Amino acid sequence: MKNYSFKNDYSEGCHPRILEALVKTNLAQQNGYGYDEYSEEARALIRQKINNGNADVHFVSGGTQANLLIISSILRPHESVVSAETGHIFTNETGAIEATGHKVHGLMTDDGKLKPQHIQSVLDTHTNRPHQVKQKLVYISNSTEIGTIYTKKELQELSVFCKANNLYLFMDGARLGQALTSEINDLTLEDVANLTDIFYLGGTKNGALLGEAIIITNDKLKEEFGFHIKQKGAMLAKGRLLGIQFLELMKNDLYFDLAKHSNVQAMKIKCAFQTKGFEFLSDTYTNQIFPILSNSQIEKLSKDFDFYVWKKVDEENSAIRLITSWATSDEVVEEVVKEIQSL
Amino acid sequence: MKNYSFKNDYSEGCHPRILEALVKTNLAQQNGYGYDEYSEEARALIRQKINNGNADVHFVSGGTQANLLIISSILRPHESVVSAETGHIFTNETGAIEATGHKVHGLMTDDGKLKPQHIQSVLDTHTNRPHQVKQKLVYISNSTEIGTIYTKKELQELSVFCKANNLYLFMDGARLGQALTSEINDLTLEDVANLTDIFYLGGTKNGALLGEAIIITNDKLKEEFGFHIKQKGAMLAKGRLLGIQFLELMKNDLYFDLAKHSNVQAMKIKCAFQTKGFEFLSDTYTNQIFPILSNSQIEKLSKDFDFYVWKKVDEENSAIRLITSWATSDEVVEEVVKEIQSL
Amino acid sequence: MKNYSFKNDYSEGCHPRILEALVKTNLAQQNGYGYDEYSEEARALIRQKINNGNADVHFVSGGTQANLLIISSILRPHESVVSAETGHIFTNETGAIEATGHKVHGLMTDDGKLKPQHIQSVLDTHTNRPHQVKQKLVYISNSTEIGTIYTKKELQELSVFCKANNLYLFMDGARLGQALTSEINDLTLEDVANLTDIFYLGGTKNGALLGEAIIITNDKLKEEFGFHIKQKGAMLAKGRLLGIQFLELMKNDLYFDLAKHSNVQAMKIKCAFQTKGFEFLSDTYTNQIFPILSNSQIEKLSKDFDFYVWKKVDEENSAIRLITSWATSDEVVEEVVKEIQSL
Amino acid sequence: MKNYSFKNDYSEGCHPRILEALVKTNLAQQNGYGYDEYSEEARALIRQKINNGNADVHFVSGGTQANLLIISSILRPHESVVSAETGHIFTNETGAIEATGHKVHGLMTDDGKLKPQHIQSVLDTHTNRPHQVKQKLVYISNSTEIGTIYTKKELQELSVFCKANNLYLFMDGARLGQALTSEINDLTLEDVANLTDIFYLGGTKNGALLGEAIIITNDKLKEEFGFHIKQKGAMLAKGRLLGIQFLELMKNDLYFDLAKHSNVQAMKIKCAFQTKGFEFLSDTYTNQIFPILSNSQIEKLSKDFDFYVWKKVDEENSAIRLITSWATSDEVVEEVVKEIQSL
């Protein structure tokens, strides 16, 4: 039995306040399918936080589900979505997007972030209409699958580019809390709402049992969205389960406190590695770090801690991935820091 | 504010034992995606209850999700599924099955139950190969969408017919607990497992926050099922949420106690209507009843209670639907019975 | 070897004028994919005949192909199409429409023709949004699969109803020539173009080697249609093959002459049956007739002629289907008439 | 008006022998849907030429259609197909494969040809089951989209690799005739049939009006293939049109004579460029050549001849693509050669 697992940020249950809310509301009869009072309150709070009273908010169970239903609701049959090659939809969802009938273009990037020139390169090689698929949607993640985040300037540039090229911009925010509370972040939640057409706030990786809050700001994408939720099997009879959780997470900014906590814990561990002179696969400021260790160091560290060996660097060294969460305690961090110091 | 809603069996949260289990296990780190200890234990218990150690068990969030992923995992592109016209997949899932590429044949029945002759009639009118779609799967619900249940003899006959005609048999068990604990039932859970190729045990409508347990007994249908769960967005990162719930429901047969409770409460109300001489749209012995009331009686009853007006019978009368649940208390039943007596 | 087959209207090759045109144009180099001169000319002629210079015209190979690409180009994922139960898309295309993700509602009719009340009945039972699929398109065939045709009044009523209910109206015209040249017809091609949003003129069953001309009059349905043709594999590299054929068929109304010929031949045979007192399964005035014969009469007639036994009426009698075509000669008709007289 | 277009190999109609056969057989009544005598004879001839009496042979209209129906008939929902990034299915079919629900992996290659190491690299990065799509099919083209061809050794190695990795091997033979008659080819048609599981012989780009002959040698892929043809709208009512053409092409090896002719004409033009010292984008020995010209040379050549400017090499130079066909006459070749000599 190991001391702690840094394999992911969904190893524990949920923040205790959520359980308390579930217990407190348990026997109140409520409407199904998201029309309960808690969901309505949660929606109102989210609209307030993004300063947009007209946004549509829908709660669904998980990230792959959110991605596939959002993308398939937006695209017509001959349209495609552009993603980084590291994008979750390109490599980690068992072809879920293609299964709804749409091509995903996977583009090489340095840091997991799409820039206008990446997208332009796809547009440039798909001008032979109607023999080639038509790009209509850009998919980005913030924080990305490799822990990096978008700056305000980068997101603005993407937004301008997408509008100029008649493309929708969709942000996968499975770890948006961590992005927005990163020490180097300069984006607000309101910025994200203003600069994208649709995005979601991840609950599963930030203290909820499950749940992602899809937020639609572009009117064209709002229409009849409920049909898509139902059709893809994403509409919970007891929608209250999602509403209650997001209500708790949004109240008093618990959501951001939890995300910040996970970042802070990761940065402490990162610092320990840095102090010892370790290098990193990428320079991250969220709750994922990718230090490069020798094989024997990896073996040593894995005696007490669980984590993924992420990428072989050479015969002697590999990058590992450590993920912290809202539930990673100071004690655990101290333990692993001590271990790092002794490597 | 009304006294109680009989609109459906998912108006409350979940059985308190489930909440206790969630609280107790909350901070234990577990593997994701259904590989946690609770899910493994729940699977073992289910296998034991169906007396089949080789069955595959998968937990997913809801019924539409279970239906669409099961059916699309089984059928090849040119194959179709046969259902009663009242079947949930035919009318109540926003075309979810067709969205995965497959035709659903909807057959008229008297009581929501498919019999061999219904299926034979579809086979007889689809012999012009390859110009017509090929039937490969039969979908039934138990209890059905209108509250009726299959007898052992009926299920045996369907099973024999399906095998003889090279068709798979799939039972939607969103309310299987209620069916198996009905006073007129003669089927066991083991029978269901033996007589079908795949079925599921519904949690959402029987005391869970969410969750259906898919049980696969036919080896051909087991292969690579996990890919389909993931691709359809049905794989929860915190699969523990489903495992913990089914573990609690299976322990000491809580699942069947809750279902029986909901049936008993419905039968008390049914009895009150019968005593007063009311007729019913269909003769049900599970947790759904469909008494026929005059418009003024409906108006009177709806002052204190919520329910659906199900079907207009004539200008003066309509059938209403009352559904009870694991959470419907004796006090509520007494109240509504008193009201019925005064109609 | 039998004398003649009345099994269908695509047993022969094509009208000789088409072959002559193919020979004459054979070595002229032309643009691919429908941008050849012949296709352009054919489009111009069709636009002229429907008196609509803005209509879009596309040529594709066959009816199932036309149906699936038209319907999937129009519908969003949660939308469905309404058809008669006898409609080609409902029973005779191996689930082609569902394979593109859409439900087909199959409605019982007396004569293969949809009327507003049929469609209204579907709308009435699909009001539970978003839990039920949304109807957006009405599919009709003219002539229908059982040989009947729409009157001008009927088509006007459908058109008004569809507009009022925000539904598109699509006419499958695989045998539109036969409908418009029927002795009881009161519709013109221009009427059809005005009263529908999209329709096609069938070539395969009226003298072409293959080909259907899709005509789009509703601007909303025109947009980016070429992408759909390509994506569904329906865009011929040598689009000239389709253009040349429709050019010949449209010139001097050959198309309508051929259709009328097929009708006239069928009516002669129908008359022979009537004279002898035979009854019919349905009263048709196009190139399909469905006389009811005794089993021994069927056996006798089938010695020299091929046809389908369409539907068993009772133990002693069945309806047969005889189809005539542009190529059914007077000699053949005389022969079969003589045979009928001797039954 | 230019003298000749080298834009593609489908600018003309078809070989005159095909037209003669169409005329000769025109009025013979035949079964529909590929059950005519000519199709049966053509199938027999093809089976004989590949020395495999058990192969299934199906005729369809075009390449995109063949590709989408073959691939969707083989793959289960969670399975994907591997292709070169230059592969027709990856970039030139408007997302047709994805529209059937399947991911296409596009791999960078030097010469348009897949080698085992390319495929291995995809397998290596898709081991996280069931979170990633499962590779099941390898798609190659011969000749490739950039004119190169597979050697016998290369195809053998691919075949061995696919069998070892439980992958099916599918060859797109839209230009297989040109590949097999290339001066550097060492493969026979029989080799192709033995080393792949399924492939097709292209007619459209080798003298037919339209048509590809799909040949299935792996028994597992034969089952119920007709359903897929019908469902995808690829089954012609007058299947005779395809049968007659392949019968003519197969008789006396007209197919290979035409392909060889197109290669020979291209090689003459290639030689003219080489003699003048021009370089090429790739070294091809089939009917496509890619010489690199200066902008002014391109302008000069394009006065009399049509062709595509394929790829910009630098500010001053671009590669052009010239394609010859069965119909490219010696006179035309002499003219263009003269023009090249004067550049």
In a shared domain, residues B238 and B295 = no
pLDDT bucket at C151, cuts 50 / 70 / 90? very high
**Residue in D8, D64, D67 nearest the CB of C32:** D8
CA distance A175 to A170: 14
Q: Do C98 and B93 touch (CB under 8 A)?
A: no
CA dihedral C36, C38, C40, C45 (to 10 degrees): -170
pLDDT cut 70: percent of chain B above it: 100
**Residue in B129, B227, B235 nearest the CB of D134:** B227
By CA distance, what is B235's nearest residue in D? D131
CA distance B269 to B323: 10
Residue C330 sits in a domain whose CATH number is 3.90.1150.10
Interface test with D, best of C232, C235, C308, C326 (most D CBs within 10 A): C232
Residue range C295-315: mean pLDDT, rounded: 96
Residue range B170-179: mean pLDDT, rounded: 98
- What pLDDT was estimated at residue C2? 79
By CA distance, what is B231's nearest residue in D? D78
In a shared domain, residues B186 and B217 = yes
- What pLDDT was estimated at residue A2? 80
By CA distance, what is A103's nearest residue in D? D98
Please write down the long-range contacts of A291-299, taking CB distance under 8 Å and 24 or more positions apart.
A291/A319, A291/A320, A291/A322, A292/A317, A292/A318, A292/A319, A292/A320, A293/A317, A293/A318, A293/A319, A293/A320, A293/A343, A297/A343
Rounded to the nearest angstrom, the minimum Cα separation between D92 and chain A is: 5
What residues in A contact B27, CB-CB < 8 Å? 12-13, 327
The tens digit of pLDDT for each residue in A257-316 reads 999 999 999 999 999 999 999 999 989 999 999 999 999 999 999 999 999 999 999 999
- What pLDDT was estimated at residue A104? 98
Rounded to the nearest angstrom, the minimum Cα separation between B71 and chain D is: 11
Block residue for tokens 């929708």: A168
Interface test with B, best of D35, D56, D70, D76 (most B CBs within 10 A): D76
By CA distance, what is D235's nearest residue in B? B131
Length reported for chain B: 343
Residue range C194-205: mean pLDDT, rounded: 98
pLDDT cut 70: percent of chain A above it: 100
In a shared domain, residues D122 and D239 = yes
In a shared domain, residues B179 and B262 = no
CA distance D209 to D201: 14
**Where is the domain boundary, A253, A275, A294?**
A253
Contact B73, B198 (CB under 8 A): no
In a shared domain, residues D241 and D264 = no
In a shared domain, residues D233 and D268 = no
What residues in A contact C101, CB-CB < 8 Å? 101
Query: Tell me, what's the ipTM?
Result: 0.96
In a shared domain, residues A170 and A218 = yes
- What pLDDT was estimated at residue A301? 97
The tens digit of pLDDT for each residue in D78-114 reads 999 999 999 999 999 999 999 999 999 999 999 999 9
Residues of D with a Cβ under 8 Å from any B Cβ are 33, 72-73, 76-78, 100-101, 129-131, 133-134, 224, 226-231, 235
- What pLDDT was estimated at residue A149? 97
Amino acid letter, D252:
N
What residues in B contact D100, CB-CB < 8 Å? 77
**Residue in C77, C130, C227 nearest the CB of A78:** C227
What residues in C contact A130, CB-CB < 8 Å? 224, 226-227, 229-230, 235
What residues in B contact C312, CB-CB < 8 Å? none
User: Cβ–Cβ contacts within 10 Å for residue A251, how many?
Assistant: 14
DSSP designation for B90 = H
In a shared domain, residues C246 and C259 = no
The tens digit of pLDDT for each residue in B117-162 reads 999 999 999 999 999 999 999 999 999 999 999 999 999 999 999 9
What residues in D contact B227, CB-CB < 8 Å? 77-78, 129-130, 133-134
In a shared domain, residues B242 and B287 = no
By CA distance, what is D67's nearest residue in C? C233
**Where is the domain boundary, C227, C253, C279?**
C253
Q: Is the pLDDT of residue C167 over 90?
A: yes
Smallest CA-to-CA distance from B279 within B313, B328, B305 is with B313
In a domain, A91, yes or no: yes
pLDDT bucket at C3, cuts 50 / 70 / 90? confident
Structural domain count, chain A? 2
What residues in D contact B100, CB-CB < 8 Å? 77
Rounded to the nearest angstrom, the minimum Cα separation between B178 and chain C is: 23
In a shared domain, residues D194 and D278 = no
**Residue in B73, B77, B230 nearest the CB of D231:** B77
CA distance C125 to C141: 24
Q: Computed from CA positions of residues C126, C132, C137, C142, in that sequence, does the dihedral angle turn out positive or negative?
A: negative
CA distance A113 to A110: 7
Contact D53, C218 (CB under 8 A): no
Adjacent-strand bridge partners of A141: A172
In a domain, C8, yes or no: no
Adjacent-strand bridge partners of A79: A134
In a shared domain, residues C98 and C216 = yes
Residue C126 sits in a domain whose CATH number is 3.40.640.10
- Whole-number mean pLDDT of chain A? 97
Contact A36, A243 (CB under 8 A): yes
Q: Do A92 and D125 touch (CB under 8 A)?
A: no
pLDDT cut 90: percent of chain C above it: 98
In a domain, D317, yes or no: yes
- Whole-number mean pLDDT of chain C? 97
CA distance B51 to B327: 30
Residue range B44-58: mean pLDDT, rounded: 98
- Residue B151 is part of which domain span? 16-252
CA distances to A102, A230, C78, C131, D77 from A224, rounded to whole Å, are 20, 11, 9, 11, 27
Rounded to the nearest angstrom, the minimum Cα separation between D141 and chain C is: 17
Q: Do B133 and C94 touch (CB under 8 A)?
A: yes
Q: Is the pLDDT of residue A3 over 90?
A: no
Partner chains of A (3+ C-beta pairs under 8 Å): B, C, D
CA distances to B146, B185, C174, C324 from D32, rounded to whole Å, are 46, 53, 16, 15
By CA distance, what is D230's nearest residue in B? B131
Smallest CA-to-CA distance from D123 within D135, D110, D105, D137 is with D135
For C61, the 3-state DSSP assignment is: coil
What residues in B contact A234, CB-CB < 8 Å? 65, 233
CA distance B27 to D193: 59
- What pLDDT was estimated at residue A170? 98
For B303, the 3-state DSSP assignment is: coil
Q: Output b/e per residue, D199-230; b: 16+ Cβ within 10 A.
A: bbbbbbbbbbbbbbbbbbbeeebeeebbbbbb
What residues in B contact D78, CB-CB < 8 Å? 224, 227-228, 230-231
- What pLDDT was estimated at residue A1? 63
Residues of A with a Cβ under 8 Å from any D Cβ are 77-78, 80, 91-95, 98-104, 125-126, 128, 130-134
Rounded to the nearest angstrom, the minimum Cα separation between B213 and chain A is: 15
Residues of C with a Cβ under 8 Å from any B Cβ are 77-78, 80, 91-95, 98-104, 125-126, 128, 130-134
- D153: burial class by Cβ within 10 Å (0-12, 13-18, 19+)? exposed
In a domain, D307, yes or no: yes
Q: Is the pLDDT of residue A47 over 70?
A: yes
In a domain, C201, yes or no: yes
Q: Do D229 and B130 touch (CB under 8 A)?
A: yes
Amino acid letter, D220:
K
In a shared domain, residues C114 and C262 = no
Contact B207, B258 (CB under 8 A): yes
In a domain, C9, yes or no: no
Residue range C75-92: mean pLDDT, rounded: 97
The tens digit of pLDDT for each residue in A227-263 reads 999 999 999 999 999 999 999 999 999 999 999 999 9
By CA distance, what is C233's nearest residue in D? D65
Q: Is the pLDDT of residue C28 over 80?
A: yes
Residue range C148-161: mean pLDDT, rounded: 98
Which stretches of chain D drop beneath a pLDDT of 50? none
Tokens for B18, please give them: 């489930």
Q: Is the pLDDT of residue B18 over 70?
A: yes
In a domain, C160, yes or no: yes
First to last CA, chain C: 21
**Residue in C77, C100, C224 nearest the CB of A231:** C77
Residue range A34-48: mean pLDDT, rounded: 98
Residue range B151-175: mean pLDDT, rounded: 98
CA distance C278 to C341: 11
Q: Is D184 left (phi over 0), alpha (psi -120 to 50) or beta?
A: alpha
**Where is the domain boundary, B193, B220, B252?**
B252
